[in-house]
Amino acid sequence: MKILAVGDIVGKTGVQMLKYKLPKIMKDDDIDFVIVNGENAADGMGLTEKLYKEILSVGTDVVTMGNHTWAKKDIFSFIDDDKIIRPANYSNNNPGKGYRIYNCKNKKIAVINLIGRVTMTVLSENPFLEAKKIIEQIKNDVDIIVIDFHAEATAEKIALAYYLEGEATIIFGTHTHVQTADEQILDNGTAYITDIGMTGPKRSVIGMDAKASIKRFETSLPEKYRIAEGEGILNACVFEVDDTTNEAVSIERICIK
């Protein structure tokens, strides 16, 4: 079983890169299951139904979200669709689901979305405790457990990996838009990477126009962020899971410029 996780889609460039590159990646790497983080697809903040359908149209199995889940009101019309999940540690009163279970090649794959709390402005429940609770509920009913941890702090992500080592099959980080080089299989068999990176404008500051970002840092004055234009980049990660043991056996970063 090969599972592909694609880093945060940023703006129209990110959506275009996904549509252009994903089919070839799936074919070349013999991918079975695709997870895409789509919370920045709509001009850098949120997701619309049109873009959601475009992301699904090229072979995506599930779309994960993050701190911009509710940025576009359109989200409420499709958040209960069975191919999208939002952070599980949002308030229980929020619409949508924090995890779902999918069937693929006679395997049951649970995908859990979590949001971090360190330096994040979103009020949320404890992601560590929420993850434990979910895993305890589903562990006897699924073969593979995958977690998208949408968090800012590297320490929080790494700590979660050790906390769930041997319980989750795959844990990957999103949100920082910068791909890290620490992909590894932990001692107890969990595949982990701190951040899988971004799919969006290449010449940018994490997807935003560089000049606008520089002005904010240079002057300390408010400057509206805007999505950068130009050629794109696609960041992703391929995880291979043994079909007999259901344990992660390899992890490989992808960076297409």
Tens-digit pLDDT string for the chain (257 aa): 999 999 999 999 999 999 999 999 999 999 999 999 999 999 999 999 999 999 999 999 999 999 999 999 999 999 999 999 999 999 989 999 999 999 999 999 999 999 999 999 888 999 999 999 999 999 999 999 999 999 999 999 999 999 999 999 999 999 999 999 999 999 999 999 999 999 999 999 999 999 989 998 999 888 888 899 999 999 999 999 999 999 999 999 999 98
Sequence spans of domains, the chain: 2-256
pLDDT at 64 (0 to 100): 98
Amino acid, single-letter form, for residue 137 = Q
- Number of Cβ within 10 Å of residue 162's Cβ equals 14
The backbone torsions φ and ψ at residue 148, rounded to the nearest 5 degrees and listed phi first, read -100, 110
Residue type, 239: F
How far apart (Å, rounded) are the C-alpha atoms in residues 98 and 96? 7
- DSSP one-letter string for 227-252: B--SSEEEEEEEEEE-TTT--EEEEE
State residue 222's pLDDT score: 83
Cα separation, 254 vs 237, in Å, equals 6
Closest CA to 31 of 2, 51, 8: 2
pTM of the model as a whole: 0.96
As a residue count, the chain comes to: 257
Instruction: Give the CA distances from residue 165 to residues 52, 58, 145, 248, in Å, rounded to whole numbers and listed in that order.
Output: 32, 32, 11, 12
**Mode of pairing for the β-strands spanning 191-193 and 170-174:** parallel
% helix, strand, coil for the chain, step of 5: 25, 30, 45
Structure tokens at 18: 């996904």
Could you tell me which residues come within 8 angstroms of residue 81 by beta carbon, excluding any fewer than 6 positions away?
A: 52
Residue 7: per-residue pLDDT = 95
Establish whether 68 is a catalytic residue. yes
Contact (Cβ atoms closer than 8 angstroms) between residue 130 and residue 150: no
User: How far, in Å, CA of 227 to CA of 235, rounded?
Assistant: 17
Residue ranges of E strands in the chain: 2-6, 8-9, 33-37, 62-64, 84-85, 99-104, 107-115, 144-150, 170-174, 184-185, 191-193, 198-201, 232-241, 248-256
Q: What pLDDT does residue 224 have?
A: 81
| Torsion sign over Cα 216, 222, 225, 228 | negative
The whole-number pLDDT of residue 223 equals: 82
CATH number assigned to the domain covering 2-256: 3.60.21.10
Q: Output the pLDDT for position 55.
A: 98
φ/ψ of 127, rounded to 5, equals: -65, -30
**Which listed residue (68, 150, 175, 177) is catalytic?**
68
pLDDT given for residue 225 in this prediction: 80
